[in-house]
């Protein structure tokens, strides 16, 4: 966690220094975002915008071209789900729940549908496609008998030692949005982007096949065994989730950014 925060501070410090020192500083924007975040996975397979949680972050843009902007984001939010809310009988019987904070650092591009230039009357707004790549930190926990318990150390699917999943994972945000100039030095934008991840353990329910959860206490303790099998009838064994798909999450938000330098109405766009 400390390494992630240090990397975030270092990246934004470098971006600000670059914007101030280069001849292109007037193309740089810095701002904030506010929105919602929700999860798609083994505990929420079919319900869009289920358990949406408040999210926000920081954002840097470099307007490389009238059709192309480089963009970097730090976002913070949380994800959660509970089998008690499911309409699927087998999931209700599974009776699992989780929640996790998400710290995300990503970078990529906005490709504009129309030419856009901040503060220019001729190019006041555009829709765009967002494509990014980065990493996020997660730490799934569960509420078990009124007690909050971190799940990764438990090895709830029989993982031991190095077999336990990493709390830092990669993601690929893909989305659609729109942005508009607010005067000569500010812009308002909003987008919705789904995150493709490469882990099935945001919810601690993954692809590991463990034939009998009664054996888990001998590996990771009695509490791990109890948390692993919380089924209402006490007879659920085998794979707890879908081994063929990874978990996803979505961030939908609005952003307000400000130009870091003075207006330059004659940007020399690269062709």
Which pLDDT value is given to residue 208? Answer: 62
C-beta neighbour count of 28 within 10 angstroms: 23
Contact 25, 260 (CB under 8 A): yes
Contact call for residues 143 and 86 (beta carbons, < 8 A):
no
Question: Closest Cα to residue 71, out of 137, 123, 116?
Answer: 116
Q: Report the Cα 232 to chain-centroid distance in Å.
A: 31
Q: Are 109 and 133 in contact (CB under 8 A)?
A: no
The answer to whether position 54 is within a domain reads: yes
Q: Is 265 a domain residue?
A: no
Give the percent of the chain with pLDDT over 70. Answer: 79
Q: How many domains does the chain have?
A: 1
For 120-161, what is each residue's pLDDT tens digit?
888 899 999 999 999 999 999 999 888 999 988 887 776 766
Element (H, E) at 86: none
In terms of residue numbers, what domain contains 250? 2-259
Q: For 27-41, write each residue's pLDDT tens digit.
A: 899 999 999 999 999
In a domain, 266, yes or no: no
> Among candidates 137, 8, 136, which has minimal Cα distance to 72?
8
> Whole-angstrom Cα distance, residue 210 to residue 218?
13
- Would you say residue 61 lies in a domain? yes
**By the 8 A CB rule, do 110 and 177 touch?**
yes
Q: What pLDDT sits at residue 1?
A: 59
| Direct distance between the N- and C-terminal alpha carbons of the chain, in angstroms, rounded to an integer | 41
- CA-to-CA distance for 230 and 184, rounded, in angstroms? 57
What is the band of 207 on the pLDDT scale with cuts at 50, 70, 90?
A: low
Q: Is residue 268 part of a domain?
A: no
- Average pLDDT over every residue of 239-250: 83
- What is the residue-averaged pLDDT of the chain? 84
What is the spatial distance between Cα 93 and Cα 98, in angstroms, rounded to a whole number?
15
Task: Please give the torsion angle defined by the CA atoms of residues 98, 153, 244 and 193, in that order, rounded to the nearest 10 degrees.
Answer: 50
Q: Is residue 269 part of a domain?
A: no
CATH number at residue 221: 2.40.160.20
Residues 6+ apart with CB under 8 A from 53: 36, 37, 38, 77, 78, 79, 80
In a domain, 264, yes or no: no
Q: Tens digits of per-residue pLDDT, 57-72?
A: 999 999 999 999 999 9
Q: What is the CA radius of gyration of the chain?
A: 22
Per the domain annotation, does 252 fall within a domain? Answer: yes
Burial class (CB in 10 A: 0-12, 13-18, 19+), 158: buried
Per the listing, tokens 């790549």 go with 133
* DSSP single-letter state for residue 16: H
To 10 degrees, the CA torsion angle through 88, 89, 95, 101? 0
**Cβ within 8 Å of residue 13, ≥6 positions away:** none
């Amino acid at each position: 966690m400390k390494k992630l925060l240090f990397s975030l501070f270092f990246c934004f410090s470098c971006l600000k220094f670059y914007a101030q020192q280069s001849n292109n500083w007037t193309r740089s924007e810095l701002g904030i975002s506010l929105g919602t975040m929700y999860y798609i996975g083994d505990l929420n397979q079919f319900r869009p915008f289920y358990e949406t949680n408040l999210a926000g972050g920081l954002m840097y843009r470099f307007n490389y071209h009238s059709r192309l902007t480089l963009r970097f984001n730090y976002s913070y939010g949380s994800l959660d789900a509970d089998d008690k809310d499911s309409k699927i009988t087998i999931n209700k019987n599974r009776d699992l729940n989780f929640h996790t904070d998400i710290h995300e650092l990503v970078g990529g591009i906005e490709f504009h549908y129309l030419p856009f230039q901040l503060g220019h009357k001729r190019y006041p707004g555009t829709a765009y496609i967002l494509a990014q790549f980065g990493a996020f930190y997660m730490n799934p926990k569960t509420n078990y008998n009124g007690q909050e318990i971190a799940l990764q150390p438990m090895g709830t699917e029989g993982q031991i030692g190095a077999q336990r999943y990493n709390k830092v994972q990669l993601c690929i945000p893909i989305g659609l949005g729109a942005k508009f100039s607010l005067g000569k030095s500010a812009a308002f934008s909003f987008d919705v982007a789904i995150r493709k991840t490469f882990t099935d353990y945001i919810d601690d329910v993954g692809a590991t096949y463990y034939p009998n959860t009664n054996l888990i206490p001998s590996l990771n303790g009695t509490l791990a065994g109890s948390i692993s099998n919380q089924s209402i009838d006490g007879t659920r064994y085998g794979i707890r989730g879908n081994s063929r798909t990874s978990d996803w999450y979505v961030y939908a938000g609005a952003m307000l950014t400000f130009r870091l330098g003075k207006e330059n109405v004659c940007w020399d766009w690269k062709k």
